[in-house]
A and B are shown apart, each in its own frame.
Chain A
């Protein structure tokens, strides 16, 4: 019995600790065109961003780590936007007013959208909040990151830079 308990702990611990996988095969972006939080703006079609490196971040107003992540995402957009990075934040709030209040408190320097119905997170297979999907210029998902931890920032920044350089060199 003790053996099975130990085996379970050994197998389950990485699931709790690992932030998310770097994908060996790069799956194509699932269909997703969330509405803009600002109702006047046109919907964000992720497939139209082909040609740019895209970081898609699923967030919610009720998710505390999502608020912490916004500082990092703003910095990424400001630093690498000119080199071809677009950060897209997709809120999963049921009520757009909650998302708007959140954005007033934590302004975003990147486009934000909302998917109250949950089609996008369902299509992406979101398993945690926040979840980020790094997408290459061909519209393929390269890396999934679950949660936000300050300790992961350097590695995530490096992954974005690597993808920007890779794309400039012609991809793989």
Chain B
């Protein structure tokens, strides 16, 4: 078996592994009208944005560190 064939086989194996991982993922689309639970405040990426903003302000003031360690928004996906 040539080195080229071995390399091709290895790549094919890698691609197959990645595709299998995608197939095993548990992600599912949630219809727009069923996102009520996702829109609840406790489902937000940052459930307490006010407190977080204060903490970041204090952190950046005391440590001279950059903020931005959190995301914004919830999960309702509203337009």
Which residues in A have some Cβ–Cβ distance to B below 8 Å? 19, 58, 60-66, 92-94, 118, 121-122, 126-131, 146-149
Contact = CB atoms under 8 A, between A and B. Distances in A.
12 contacts: A19-B79, A61-B36, A62-B76, A93-B36, A121-B33, A122-B31, A128-B77, A128-B78, A129-B33, A130-B78, A147-B79, A149-B79
| Dominant secondary structure at the B interface | loop
Contacts of B52: none
Nearest to B39: A62
Contacts of B10: none
Interface residues of B, number: 12
B34 A129 contact: no
Dominant SS at the A interface? loop
Interface of B: 31-36, 39-40, 76-79
A73 B43 CA distance: 29
A129 B40 contact: no
Contacts of B79: 19, 65, 128-130, 146-149
A62 B79 CA distance: 13
Most B Cβ at <10 Å: residue of A60, A122, A131, A149 = A60
